[in-house]
Amino acid sequence: MQWQLDVETAVAEAGPGEWHGHLTSSWNIGENPNGGYVAALLLRAMTAEVAHPDPVAMTTHYLRPGIPDADVVVRTEVVRTGRTTSTVRGTLSQGGSDRITGLATFADLGAASGTDHLTIAAPGLPPPDECRPRETLEQGVELPIVERLEIRVDPDAAEPGEAGVAEITGWIRFADGRPADVAGVALFADAFPPSLFGLLGRVGWVPTLEMTVHVRRRPAPGWVQARFVTTSLESGLLVEDGALWDESGHLVAQARQLAMLLTD
Amino acid sequence: MQWQLDVETAVAEAGPGEWHGHLTSSWNIGENPNGGYVAALLLRAMTAEVAHPDPVAMTTHYLRPGIPDADVVVRTEVVRTGRTTSTVRGTLSQGGSDRITGLATFADLGAASGTDHLTIAAPGLPPPDECRPRETLEQGVELPIVERLEIRVDPDAAEPGEAGVAEITGWIRFADGRPADVAGVALFADAFPPSLFGLLGRVGWVPTLEMTVHVRRRPAPGWVQARFVTTSLESGLLVEDGALWDESGHLVAQARQLAMLLTD
């Protein structure tokens, strides 16, 4: 089976540390590809450089929006290869300009160990069927991405501006049935509407400046559940924290991003 | 006045994107320089490359321990210069091996705006005089760094293993009276004992793999207060979240690190 994500983030090695690919418009939010999708293509090339399979810490700085339906060049450099971890940097360019640049450390998380010494409890959401599809939320932009990702948000927090808190919770999975994996959860961490919507209502595009995802465990099959909270908003910059769990309630990733609140 | 930090992180431009400096042993924890000190020297060179003064997102991956009392070469590359932000990458090497590598986005936070739309409340600590100096905690290593940084931890959480939670709170300032600034708070974010000590007791060295600091505001003069919490521990890797406030209680930085719990 050729899953949509795998086809649409395919990269071919064009030389040492150089990878070619193509960003489609199928993962757009409005006019531009979702940042998580652009990062997924970058991560694909970076993962191919190392033996350790799991991106335990991946930071991406967003320099310029990605261009939909356009070719991509990724340049990668292995910074260090160790026994337990490997570190790689990579930069994705289109049209001669760098779009995103990242730094990731990979390890081998193995099969789920079952020993959560310390963890974050899953949010206790209503089942996906009782949650609200993302596309029914008024967002003011076209959302081609909902053909790729099924996103259901908690109905209690679904009306922009009515939740009273800068929090969004919900479920996510690939629309074509692709199982969640570590690349999937990294993508899911940047696919929900901004949690600020719950407090301020629709606020337009909230561009991500930097995002760090820590994959904590390989997910079990099924839906992934997630909670995102804006913890601070100051001088027009906000920090949003995310946590993601697999369907069985195990923590699979933690994420944090710095984003800009654009004001008219 | 020549403050200790400024002297001991001084860098001289040796060519385009190349900086020379020296790491002292004065900021050691045990045999190695504190990671925050090593990162402070890297940040010094990266800051010198751009016009925007404030590191609003700085990620550092720790590749190998720094070497005390040894020369340093930093290589920097400006990734993008924009109107509101600039992004720089940098790598610090000693003895021909990369020690830490980082990626930072800088902006201009201006003077404190006073408009915290959303913030994290300061922990409500006892005053510094009623807190416990870091050096009175039994840690099993020499702490030359306490000659550079005054650290006072909340006495309620001071006995390793007795707090029952993986949390540490306290106050911090430069020992020589240097005012806190954005470089200072970035350093402070990696200078406390691991918050895991509160839960597990003394656990030896907890090496940081990756750390991201978001500076949220320029600090007011005086002490900085901080809280660190280990939010998850899984497969031998832990995520620790930190928040730092200035003496007046304004949030000045958020930090998150991935670290490794070494087991005998």
Partners of A117 on chain B (C-beta within 8 Å) are 233-234
pLDDT at A108: 95
pLDDT at B158: 54
Please state the three-class secondary structure of A172-207 as a single string: EEECCCCCCCHHHHHHHCCCCCCCCHHHHCCCCCCC
Mean pLDDT of chain B: 91
Nearest-Cα distance to chain A for B191, in Å, is 21
Residue B164 carries which DSSP code?
A: S
Residue with token string 């000190």 = B37
pLDDT at A159: 62
Rounded to an integer, what distance in angstroms lies between the CA atom of residue B62 and that of residue A84? 13
Pairing of strands B167-174, B224-234: antiparallel
Rounded to an integer, what distance in angstroms lies between the CA atom of residue B71 and that of residue B91? 14
Average pLDDT over residues B97-118: 84
Average pLDDT over residues B21-40: 96
Residue with token string 């699979």 = A252
**Cβ atoms A175, A236 nearer than 8 A:** no
Rounded to an integer, what distance in angstroms lies between the CA atom of residue B241 and that of residue B223? 20
Average pLDDT over residues B23-33: 94
pLDDT at A196: 85
Nearest-Cα distance to chain B for A81, in Å, is 9
pLDDT at A203: 64
**Residue A77, amino acid:** E
Nearest-Cα distance to chain B for A120, in Å, is 7
Percent of chain B with pLDDT over 70: 92
Partners of A237 on chain B (C-beta within 8 Å) are 56, 107, 216
Residue of A210, A239, A256 with shortest CB distance to B105: A210
pLDDT at B139: 67
Q: Could you report the predicted ipTM of this complex, rounded to two decimals?
A: 0.94
- In terms of Cβ atoms closer than 10 Å to its own Cβ (0-12, 13-18, 19+), residue B121 is exposed
Q: Residue ranges of chain A with pLDDT lower than 50?
A: none
Please provide residue A158's backbone torsions phi and psi, each rounded to the nearest 5 degrees. Answer: -90, -25
CB atoms inside a 10 Å sphere around CB A256: 24
Q: Grade residue B201 by pLDDT with cuts at 50, 70 and 90.
A: confident
**Cβ atoms A167, A139 nearer than 8 A:** no
Rounded to an integer, what distance in angstroms lies between the CA atom of residue A55 and that of residue B219? 34
Query: In chain B, whose CA is at the least distance from the CA of A91?
Result: B79
Distances in Å between the Cα of A191 and the Cα atoms of A73, A170, A224, B51, B123 are 23, 11, 12, 33, 32
pLDDT at A76: 98
Residue B118 carries which DSSP code?
A: B
Rounded to an integer, what distance in angstroms lies between the CA atom of residue B59 and that of residue B105? 9
Residue of B56, B103, B231 with shortest CB distance to A237: B56
Please provide residue A160's backbone torsions phi and psi, each rounded to the nearest 5 degrees. Answer: -50, 130
Select from A193, A247, A103 the least CA-distant residue to B212. A103
Partners of A52 on chain B (C-beta within 8 Å) are none
CB contact under 8 A, A234 and B212: no
Q: Which of A231, A238, A254 to mutate to test the interface with B (most CBs of B within 10 A)?
A: A231
Rounded to an integer, what distance in angstroms lies between the CA atom of residue B16 and that of residue A131? 55
Q: What is the pLDDT of residues B151-199, one digit of tens each?
A: 999 877 656 666 667 899 999 999 999 999 999 999 999 999 888 877 7
Average pLDDT over residues B25-39: 95
Nearest-Cα distance to chain B for A170, in Å, is 21
